[in-house]
Amino acid sequence: MIMRKGWRPVLVLILLLIIWQVLVPLFEVPEWLLPTPYQIGVEAINSWPNYSGHLFATIRLSILGFLIGSSIGLGVAIILHLVPKLRETFYPLLILSQNIPIIVLAPLLVIWFGFGLLPKLIIIILVCFFPITIAALDGFRQTSGELLHYMKMAGADRRQIFWKLEWPHAMPSIFSGLKIAATYSVMGAVISEWLGAQEGIGVYMTLASSSFRTTQVFVAILLIMCLSMLFFAAIVLLEKRVIRWKTSGGGNSNG
Amino acid sequence: MIMRKGWRPVLVLILLLIIWQVLVPLFEVPEWLLPTPYQIGVEAINSWPNYSGHLFATIRLSILGFLIGSSIGLGVAIILHLVPKLRETFYPLLILSQNIPIIVLAPLLVIWFGFGLLPKLIIIILVCFFPITIAALDGFRQTSGELLHYMKMAGADRRQIFWKLEWPHAMPSIFSGLKIAATYSVMGAVISEWLGAQEGIGVYMTLASSSFRTTQVFVAILLIMCLSMLFFAAIVLLEKRVIRWKTSGGGNSNG
Amino acid sequence: TEEAENPGSDVANEQQELQEVTMVLDWTPNTNHTGLYVAQQKGYFEEQGLDVEIILPGEAGANQLVASNQAEFGIGAQESLTEARVQDIPIVSIAALIQHNTSGFASPKDKGIESPSDYEGKTYGGWGAPVEKAVLGSIMEQEAADVENVDIVNIGNSDFFTAVERDIDFAWIYYGWTGIEAELRGDELNMQYLTDYSDKLDYYTPILMTNENLIAEDPETVRAFTKAVSQGYEFAIDEPEQAAEILIEAVPDLDPELVKASQEWLSPKYQDDAAKFGEQQEQVWADYAAWMFDNGLLDEELDVEQAYTNEFLPEEEN
Amino acid sequence: MAELAIEQLTKSFDGTEVLKALSLNIADDEFVAVLGPSGSGKSTLFHLIGGLYEPDTGTILLGGENIKGQKGSVSYMPQSPSLLPWRTVLDNVLLGAEIAGHKDQQAAIQMMEKAGLAGYEQSYPHQLSGGMKQRAAFIRSLLSPQPLILLDEPFSALDEFTRSEMQKWLLDIWQHNKRSILFVTHNIEEALFLADRILVLSEKPARVVAEFKVGFARPRAEDITLTEEFLQYKKDIYKVLKKGTGE
Amino acid sequence: MAELAIEQLTKSFDGTEVLKALSLNIADDEFVAVLGPSGSGKSTLFHLIGGLYEPDTGTILLGGENIKGQKGSVSYMPQSPSLLPWRTVLDNVLLGAEIAGHKDQQAAIQMMEKAGLAGYEQSYPHQLSGGMKQRAAFIRSLLSPQPLILLDEPFSALDEFTRSEMQKWLLDIWQHNKRSILFVTHNIEEALFLADRILVLSEKPARVVAEFKVGFARPRAEDITLTEEFLQYKKDIYKVLKKGTGE
Ligand SMILES: Nc1ncnc2c1ncn2[C@@H]1O[C@H](COP(=O)(O)OP(=O)(O)OP(=O)(O)O)[C@@H](O)[C@H]1O
Ligand SMILES: Nc1ncnc2c1ncn2[C@@H]1O[C@H](COP(=O)(O)OP(=O)(O)OP(=O)(O)O)[C@@H](O)[C@H]1O
Ligand SMILES: [Mg+2]
Ligand SMILES: [Mg+2]
């Protein structure tokens, strides 16, 4: 499915790359400012041994962070949804959590947790959990009144209403949140590596950038983008597997 | 409504502040690492004339960025939804757009647009538009099949189906996206100010941080948080005014 | 430090137990740090019984990390250490890595900026700190120019080369890195070194620092560390090419060309005219602090005695 | 012109045939009722006429024009009310007309009054009872301007009296403002009382198994339901239906 | 024990009274039908018994126990099918039992077969016709274990034959496995054929305006609908309903 439909964006991407490749020499943009896709490609292939370690470190970090972050995000959403009082109380605090700048958090995290995995994970989690929580909460709330009435009349307790009605109903919203979170998780990992790490794309990029090697910086971006796309695609695939019933309905609204 | 329910989070917040206030001297955390809320409060009051200009600059910037960003986000979502081919083509590219690290974008933006307002707006827009686009796209797609069938049978053309069915149906999702975007817009503005600005909370914070005035850094965070909360509250109020019909239904699921 | 607490657990190594020490840089690795990598690579640290891990500061900032003992040692600069001490942050300078300030205001040759008086009517790109305006004012004063006529713009994270491509006429750089990069690119720069215009501005940057706590409780480690570092820098002074190779090997992601050229330029400047590597003079600390205070950059005066010490520098010359 | 001519319509879902070579005709201004077992394909037939799905084979001509897969040529009342939850009842009732571009709020308010929905103009669908929703959907289809109306069990949720009032009202509207009507119902008496002609569908896959011309004069009085002729029709249809279902 | 005793029930929505001092009783194992005009408050009555809303005043006793605002004590079939779109039909049918904690897949499959839904076990609700959805919802309520069943117009979307089969099946189940049933319908014949007793509600605000004891012996044969007695009942009820609606 994805394979078959994938040619279109790939085409546009290739087109964009070609335009880029042509425009850069045309406007005499120097390589240190904006290398051409060809130069980036060559560099990407040649320096594979240099960055492969960094790449795998970032992959591990972001997958771990995403998994923990989205579990926490879902958990928080569920708890806040099931206990309206908690929700009223903590919902505004959630928003606050998104507004602690990393620049301030960074020294505190490092001072409290050292240079290990934990402070980095905390940053990715902080980035990932928010879109999921918001999306899931909204999904839980928007169940159809008619179905809710039936469930209640049938004697479903709060847990049953949640698991049999609200949870499956919120699935599309949750996946929407997961997609956003997956996209952010890679960036989150890279940012967290600026916190002080020995390896990772973030480190690779900072080093490249500080020795003015723009082409390598772009290789790093390329890696980040590919990773995010992979993560996103994985979520889309999962969504297709999980939400099977919506074959008709709004999906094919080719009216 | 908000007023009446607001006491709960405020209470928790106050409790947190008290704990903070008590723990800091207990563990002998020095002020340069983590000032107490009291110290922050005093600083916030005393240095109001120092930062008020910065504050208003950031407010202007983030409101402008949010408005433009969410308009673009909605516009993109609408276009991608209405033209499935465009959607297949550009959806993956949207995700890519979220993975260009600011560190790389910054020099390019500066080269292209100088140090004026535009590059900063671009960063905020980039941060804001994505959650809205994703949420709106998912909202548009999840209209009920039954209603869609009726609309089609009644001869509604694509535009009518969109404006009379999909758009109102997606309202809750769109607001969900707007909430996320509003929250991010303030952070986006602060980050964009690190790109090079004369004034703004971001500038104030960098200065404070580089001269080790931790208390002022925390004042800046306080300002950022208050701003985001205000933005979020504004969106929630707007949502309450716009989505009126959902009085019953899932809302009061106090089962 | 965790392993140090249970010695002999899985250490099948010969010799004595090495003490683990963390060293945090001020930025990404560059030729300012060569001596550290040499000391590590050549085993000078090990000889002193130290196992040193060199880390990048990231967003956390070296000063706080050292102050809070997350890292025992760090690279800093006199200006920020001065500010930090005034804010009661307990860090101490134990060696000057470069004797004289190598920074200055640079501009592409075609901008025609030959001396500070030419700054008038031009645009300066900085990072928005008050100290910049003060320094600019200080050196422009010498030529009876007024800093108010300079348009100061915050360029944030943009680097020098990007900034001067557009809007910006001149910026503040370290010649040993950015200036050398310009040479390698064949860009011609006009450079006004701070030291050429005011002695007060000839402060130490970068410096090696540690925190008061460590000095009080474990001066031996400080002494050992400083000794190894001195050895490393002395090697770098004597053998610039080999030292450059060591740095390139340790941090392969750096540009070797830049490292070699920079090392060659910088090696003679580590010790320069000082009696021995790392030595600091009270005069330099006092003058600069006074200058900062006079320019309203400090809330109170610096207690100079507390800010630095030569006590840990090795006694004998190797 | 609203003559509907359907020829050899076939439609399957996931390999199961639902309609098989179904043909039927509706003359201009004719009122035709469709009877058939539950799940036989009546609603599917409507969906095909309305252009929601394309048939596998067959033709659908309206006024001589091919309307296969073409939407908007009929006024439609679906089996479930399908009101938009975010619109007031009044706005819902106007939706069909709004889509077609003729909106007459005054007429809508009058019709709502006639259907016993006065006072509910500004209510939302979730505040209505089942039968009230159905009436709202019914009005919506009446307010749509197309010359052919498809009604899918429009009165199934109404009590006998409201139902008979609605029936009379429908006949009234139809007589004053001639349109062709295709009407699905499970109520034989209703079909007899309203229609010029009754088509009986078989079980899935549906074909027309019988056709009854209903000869009562128009306008029809309520008491025809008590005539011998009426009872006879009823028995005949019942028998055909029984056979169809029994197979 | 499933005697239901409702006393002086009053309920208003947004200031409009829907039920006004409504009282009724259902004996153990009794089958009671409720007739009443559309919008009178029948579904609201069910919602109150099921505990979805609290009445403004009045008491609801089930087996002597107060069940006001208490959910889960009745088995319920809503007026609209309310199937969960993401569950297969089989899983939907099992939902009521699942909630109550007794799940019998075998029984469900058998029942689906009986209701003509064989082969649709793994389909999703959107693949069913209107009448098929209604039958699924009906089975769902039968599979729920509670001793009192509330059926809100369960057969309104079914054709005469399917409807009569469902009726006979319902009687069969009820006779073999005694439970109390409260049954809303708009079809007088259906009420007469099924119920022990028929309650007629007035227009909004609803009260019980008449009560008919239906004296036919059980088990009931289909041909009682042709007896004189049946017709007489029908006429009487019709008259009461007419008066109620005409007021
Ligand atoms: N979208 C669909 N996908 C698969 N099967 C479908 C779909 N829609 C209808 N069907 C099948 O087509 C058959 C006919 O359905 P239809 O809704 O036309 O019946 P109907 O005659 O209207 O019945 P009722 O009187 O119960 O409303 C049913 O067996 C149903 O399962
Ligand atoms: N949630 C609600 N909010 C406001 N009014 C309501 C609500 N639910 C029902 N009503 C009103 O209560 C009255 C009775 O509704 P109810 O659904 O009980 O009728 P009913 O007897 O079941 O009718 P029908 O036979 O059409 O299903 C109606 O006038 C309806 O508008
Ligand atoms: Mg149907
Ligand atoms: Mg009802």
Query: What's the average model confidence in pLDDT over E158-186?
Result: 90
Record the tokens describing residue B18, joined without a space.
């008290």
CA of D132 to the centre of ligand 4 (A): 9
Of the partner residues E38, E160, E161, the one whose CB lies closest to the CB of residue D157? E38
Task: Report CA dihedral (E235, E238, E240, E244) to the nearest 10 degrees.
Answer: -160
Average model confidence (pLDDT) for chain B?
A: 83
Residue A19, in any domain of the structure: no
Is the domain of E70 the same as that of E56? Answer: yes
User: Given a cut of 60, is residue A175 above it in pLDDT?
Assistant: yes
We report the CATH number of the domain holding residue B222 as 1.10.3720.10
Q: What is the pLDDT, as a whole number, of residue C2? A: 40
CA of D151 to the centre of ligand 2 (A): 23
Q: What is the pLDDT, as a whole number, of residue D245? A: 57
Comparing B229-233, C150-154, E97-101, which segment has the lowest mean pLDDT? C150-154
Query: What's the average model confidence in pLDDT over C245-258?
Result: 87
E strand or H helix that includes residue C260: helix C256-271
Number of domains in chain A: 1
Residues C152-161: pLDDT tens digits?
A: 887 766 778 8
Of the partner residues A32, A207, A212, the one whose CB lies closest to the CB of residue C253? A207
Q: Given pLDDT bands bounded at 50, 70 and 90, which one contains residue B209?
A: confident
Residue A15, in any domain of the structure: no
Q: Do A153 and E85 touch (CB under 8 A)?
A: no
Is the domain of E65 the same as that of E176? Answer: yes
The strand order across the sheet containing C189-193 reads C151-154, C123-126, C170-174, C103-108, C189-193
Is the domain of D232 the same as that of D164? Answer: yes
User: Given a cut of 90, is residue E199 above it in pLDDT?
Assistant: yes
Quick count: other Cβ atoms within 10 Å of Cβ C246?
Answer: 24
Strand pairing class (C123-126; C151-154) = parallel
Record the tokens describing residue E64, joined without a space.
């002597």
Residues D190-239: pLDDT tens digits?
A: 999 999 999 999 888 888 888 999 888 888 887 888 888 888 888 888 88
Of the partner residues D39, D159, D163, the one whose CB lies closest to the CB of residue E131? D39
Residue B71, in any domain of the structure: yes
B62 to chain A, minimum CA–CA distance in Å?
13
Query: What's the average model confidence in pLDDT over E129-151?
Result: 92
Quick count: other Cβ atoms within 10 Å of Cβ B14?
Answer: 11
Record the tokens describing residue D230, joined without a space.
């009426």
Which chain A residues contact residue D54 at CB under 8 A? none
Residue A147, in any domain of the structure: yes
Q: What is the pLDDT, as a whole number, of residue C156? A: 67
Which chain B residues contact residue D74 at CB under 8 A? 153
Q: What is the pLDDT, as a whole number, of residue A211? A: 74
Is the domain of E56 the same as that of E153? Answer: yes
Is the domain of D155 the same as that of D229? Answer: yes
> Residue with structure tokens 């001067």?
C164
D167 CB less than 6 Å from ligand 1? no
We report the CATH number of the domain holding residue E176 as 3.40.50.300
Q: Do A153 and E99 touch (CB under 8 A)?
A: no
CA of E99 to the centre of ligand 1 (A): 28
Average model confidence (pLDDT) for chain D?
A: 89
Query: What's the average model confidence in pLDDT over E4-12?
Result: 91
Is the domain of E152 the same as that of E39? Answer: yes
**CA–CA separation, D36 and D19 (whole Å):** 12
What SS3 class is residue A246? coil
User: Given a cut of 60, is residue B125 above it in pLDDT?
Assistant: yes
Q: Do A153 and E51 touch (CB under 8 A)?
A: yes
Highest mean pLDDT of the ranges A134-148, C148-162, C229-243:
C229-243
The range of the structural domain enclosing residue B182 comes to 51-241
Give the end-to-end CA distance of chain A in Å, rounded to a whole number: 21
Q: What is the pLDDT, as a whole number, of residue D132? A: 93
User: Given a cut of 90, is residue C246 above it in pLDDT?
Assistant: yes
Q: What is the pLDDT, as a whole number, of residue D191? A: 92
- For a ligand 2 pocket test, name from E12, E13, E20 the mutation site with the most ligand atoms within 8 angstroms of its C-beta: E13
The range of the structural domain enclosing residue E226 comes to 4-74+148-246
CA of D45 to the centre of ligand 1 (A): 9
Residues A191-249: pLDDT tens digits?
A: 888 766 678 888 888 888 777 777 888 888 888 888 888 888 899 889 888 877 664 43
Record the tokens describing residue D158, joined without a space.
């109404």
Record the tokens describing residue E29, joined without a space.
């194992």
C286 to chain A, minimum CA–CA distance in Å?
29
**CA–CA separation, C277 and B69 (whole Å):** 55
Domain-terminating residue out of E145, E166, E195:
E145
Q: What is the pLDDT, as a whole number, of residue B248? A: 41
User: Given a cut of 90, is residue A107 above it in pLDDT?
Assistant: no
Higher per-residue confidence, B165 vs A103: B165
Q: Do D129 and E39 touch (CB under 8 A)?
A: yes
Chains E and A touch (3+ CB pairs under 8 A): yes
Is the domain of E214 the same as that of E160? Answer: yes
B189-216: string of b/e by CB count within 10 Å (b at 16+)?
A: bbbbbbbbbebbbbbbbbbbbbbbbbbb
**CA–CA separation, B196 and B115 (whole Å):** 6
Query: What's the average model confidence in pLDDT over C247-259?
Result: 86
Residue B112, in any domain of the structure: yes
Query: What's the average model confidence in pLDDT over E45-50?
Result: 92
- For a ligand 1 pocket test, name from D35, D43, D79, D153 the mutation site with the most ligand atoms within 8 angstroms of its C-beta: D43
Q: What is the pTM of this model?
A: 0.83
User: Given a cut of 90, is residue A167 above it in pLDDT?
Assistant: yes
Residue B46, in any domain of the structure: no
Query: What's the average model confidence in pLDDT over C127-155?
Result: 84
Q: What is the pLDDT, as a whole number, of residue B244? A: 72
**CA–CA separation, C223 and C207 (whole Å):** 15
Q: What is the pLDDT, as a whole number, of residue C12? A: 41
Is the domain of D49 the same as that of D67? Answer: yes
E strand or H helix that includes residue A161: none
Q: Which atom of ligand 1 sits closest to the CA of residue D45?
A: 18
Query: What's the average model confidence in pLDDT over B121-127?
Result: 89
Q: What is the pLDDT, as a whole number, of residue C3? A: 40
**CA–CA separation, C218 and C227 (whole Å):** 15
Bridge partners, C20 (sequence order): C51
User: Given a cut of 50, is residue E41 above it in pLDDT?
Assistant: yes
**CA–CA separation, C204 and D148 (whole Å):** 92
E147 CB less than 6 Å from ligand 2? no
Is the domain of E128 the same as that of E188? Answer: no
Nearest CA in chain A to B218: A104
CA of D138 to the centre of ligand 2 (A): 18
Is the domain of D50 the same as that of D116? Answer: no
Query: What's the average model confidence in pLDDT over C179-190?
Result: 88
Q: Given pLDDT bands bounded at 50, 70 and 90, which one contains residue B1?
A: very low
Q: Given pLDDT bands bounded at 50, 70 and 90, which one contains residue C16?
A: low
Is 0.90 exceeded by the ipTM? no
Identity of residue C49: G
User: Given a cut of 90, is residue E1 above it in pLDDT?
Assistant: no
Alpha helices in B98-144 (DSSP H): 102-113, 117-141
Q: Do A255 and D126 touch (CB under 8 A)?
A: no
Higher per-residue confidence, B104 vs B136: B136
Q: What is the pLDDT, as a whole number, of residue E87? A: 92
Is the domain of E138 the same as that of E152? Answer: no
Q: Given pLDDT bands bounded at 50, 70 and 90, which one contains residue A86?
A: confident
Is the domain of D117 the same as that of D164? Answer: no
Q: Do D38 and E186 touch (CB under 8 A)?
A: no
User: Given a cut of 80, is residue B20 above it in pLDDT?
Assistant: yes
Quick count: other Cβ atoms within 10 Å of Cβ C132?
Answer: 20
User: Given a cut of 70, is residue B107 above it in pLDDT?
Assistant: no
Q: What is the pLDDT, as a whole number, of residue D1? A: 60
Interchain CB contact of B249 with D (< 8 Å): yes
Chains C and E touch (3+ CB pairs under 8 A): no
Higher per-residue confidence, D245 vs D54: D54
Q: Given pLDDT bands bounded at 50, 70 and 90, which one contains residue B250?
A: very low
Residue A227, in any domain of the structure: yes
Of the partner residues D52, D86, D144, the one whose CB lies closest to the CB of residue B149? D52
Q: What is the pLDDT, as a whole number, of residue B62? A: 92
User: Given a cut of 70, is residue A2 above it in pLDDT?
Assistant: no
Query: What's the average model confidence in pLDDT over C128-137?
Result: 84
Number of domains in chain D: 2
